[in-house]
Amino acid sequence: MTLENGHYKRTKGTWIVEEITNEKNRYAIDDDGYSVATVVGETNANLIASAPDLLSAIKPLVARIKAEDSWAKDYDQIISAEAAIAKAEGKQTRRK
């Protein structure tokens, strides 16, 4: 992670899940040596660790669909995807 304008920004590295030894069902999400989170449950850890990859995949997909379909901005799935992107990026959105 890097510090930018007083806020920590995610590095472009892959987040990995590591089981915490001596702690039952606890996992750490690691970003190139920096702890991102510690959670209970491997499923939760895998979901959190996949977040950067999911965000990187969905942003260009939404942009492409909107560029190719003028009605796309009104589709519930696109509205939901944009709200999820905004949430992941710490921005607020309004649903119509």
For residue 81, what are its two tokens?
């995807």
What does the pLDDT look like over 6-23, one tens digit per residue? Answer: 555 655 568 889 888 888
Query: What is the per-residue pLDDT for 5?
Result: 63
Q: Can you tell me whether residue 31 is helix, strand or coil?
A: strand
pTM of the model: 0.73
Q: Which residues of the chain fall short of a pLDDT of 70?
A: 1-13, 92-96
Cα-based distances in Å from 61 to 16, 66, 67: 24, 9, 10
Cα-based distances in Å from 94 to 1, 3, 56, 89: 29, 29, 22, 15
